[in-house]
Amino acid sequence: MAQGSGTPSIPVAMGYVAAVTLVVGLALFLLPPYGEMPLSHQVVLTGFALALWSFSDGLFGRFSLILALIEAVLLLRLSIGWTYLFAGAFGAPAEP
């Protein structure tokens, strides 16, 4: 990041998005029911939490409601993608 610049560089921004979505996707995967896709209310509450996070300390949605909502939707979509990946790779074991 350049001195005095409020805009992060592209690698820093990509690292931020990857880290946040990975953590949120893993949290959604570990919520009950374990090893399956999260329930709809869990996804909605996660979306609200991401919108609040984006509004208060987001990458480009800081203190702008519309940009924070757009950022939250994008982060939630990527997080659900991580959850799909975890569910496919480490899903709940099949019952005999």
Mean pLDDT by groups of 10 residues along the chain of 96 residues? 64 93 94 87 96 92 92 96 91 65
Report residue 45 CA to chain centroid gap.
12
> What pLDDT is recorded for position 2?
47
> What pLDDT is recorded for position 93?
64
> What pLDDT is recorded for position 14?
93
Residue with tokens 């990527």: 78
* Distance of alpha carbon 6 from alpha carbon 42, whole angstroms: 33
> What pLDDT is recorded for position 6?
66
Residue with tokens 């939250």: 72
Q: What is the pTM of this model?
A: 0.85
| Residue type at position 31 | L
Residue with tokens 């300390």: 57
| Residue type at position 42 | Q
Show Cβ contacts of residue 56 under 8 Å, excluding neighbours closer than 6 positions: 62
